[in-house]
């Protein structure tokens, strides 16, 4: 999917969310939340929160394009990265928690896409120039979970029990570690920046395989199945309502 500006990204996400709402598809969960983050990045650029606003917009567009292209390929029956395939396929599974769907998307987009996008917009010895703003945008991405605590409490009343069953700590939720994901993304960018371009496809493919294993662990943890099923039973079941709640952000204007 061709996008050139943050406004193009927002329009593309709007189309995905509308289609998901029409079709009652859980694909809309991550897309709705991702739109909130994209709006925040746009607002941050406008407010000069980044040292290099134009570069941040370029990073946002390249980063988003990896998600948009993967979704388009998946919906067309074409090849997409393994980690995104796992996340998209899980959208057909009504037994997964809302949070699991969100984390599976975050896993693919941060652990794989973010580092690749960073190396693409700041190749080779240009990468250090990006680091400060990369860290800043990482803060926005990290808020994907922490910023929706109220919504998740309304959507999933028993989600607070995750810590009681050992699936939530200060840094990790259902096998997804936010701090580790951010570090992995920058490590990926540094590796791609330092190695010959001819090796990039091989490096990205190997990373995709590792990230897909993490995605499967998020969606299908090998224990606590009964407890997760009980949490799922207590969640809001109407897909359209979930999309609307996750996408609502009255404090930020597009």
Of all helices (H) and strands (E), which one includes residue 172? Answer: strand 172-173
Q: Tell me, what's the pLDDT at 144? A: 57
Q: Tell me, what's the pLDDT at 80? A: 95
Q: Tell me, what's the pLDDT at 171? A: 60
Q: Tell me, what's the pLDDT at 253? A: 39
Question: In sequence order, what are the beta bridge partners of 172?
Answer: 177
List Cβ neighbours of 102 (8 Å cut-off, separation of 6 or more). Answer: 29, 30, 33, 144, 145, 246
Q: Tell me, what's the pLDDT at 223? A: 81
Q: Tell me, what's the pLDDT at 173? A: 80
Residues of the chain with pLDDT under 70: 1, 141-147, 170-171, 249-254
What are 108-157's pLDDT values in tens digits? 999 999 999 999 999 999 999 999 998 887 777 666 556 677 788 889 99
Q: Tell me, what's the pLDDT at 251? A: 46
**pTM confidence score:** 0.92
DSSP label of 176: E
> In the chain, how long is the greatest CA-to-CA distance?
51
Q: Tell me, what's the pLDDT at 121? A: 96
Q: Tell me, what's the pLDDT at 139? A: 73
Q: Tell me, what's the pLDDT at 166? A: 80
C-alpha dist (Å) from residue 227 to 71, 94, 159, 177, 210: 31, 16, 10, 21, 27
Query: How far apart are the C-alpha atoms of 166 and 106, rounded to whole Å?
Result: 21
């Amino acid at each position: 999917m061709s996008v050139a500006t943050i406004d193009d990204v927002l329009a593309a996400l709007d189309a995905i969310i509308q289609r998901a709402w029409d079709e009652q598809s859980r694909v809309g969960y991550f897309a709705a939340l991702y739109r909130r983050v994209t709006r925040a990045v746009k607002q941050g650029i406008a407010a000069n929160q980044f040292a290099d606003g134009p570069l941040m917009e370029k990073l946002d567009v390249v980063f988003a394009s990896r998600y948009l292209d993967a979704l388009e390929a998946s919906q067309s029956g074409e090849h997409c990265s393994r980690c995104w395939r796992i996340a998209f396929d899980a959208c057909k599974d009504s037994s997964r928690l809302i949070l699991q769907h969100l984390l599976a998307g975050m896993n693919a987009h941060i652990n794989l896409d973010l580092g690749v996008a960073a190396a693409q917009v700041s190749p080779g010895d240009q990468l250090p120039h990006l680091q400060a703003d990369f860290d800043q945008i990482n803060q926005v991405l990290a808020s994907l979970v922490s910023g929706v605590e109220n919504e998740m409490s309304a959507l999933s009343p028993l989600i607070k029990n995750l810590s009681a069953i050992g699936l939530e700590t200060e840094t990790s939720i259902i096998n997804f570690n936010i701090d580790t994901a951010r570090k992995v993304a920058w490590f990926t960018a540094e590796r791609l920046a330092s190695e010959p371009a001819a090796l990039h496809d091989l490096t990205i493919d190997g990373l995709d395989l590792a990230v897909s294993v993490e995605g499967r662990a998020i969606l299908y943890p090998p224990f606590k199945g009964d407890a997760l099923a009980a949490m799922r039973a207590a969640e809001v079941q109407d897909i359209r309502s979930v999309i609307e709640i996750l996408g609502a952000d009255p404090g930020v204007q597009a």
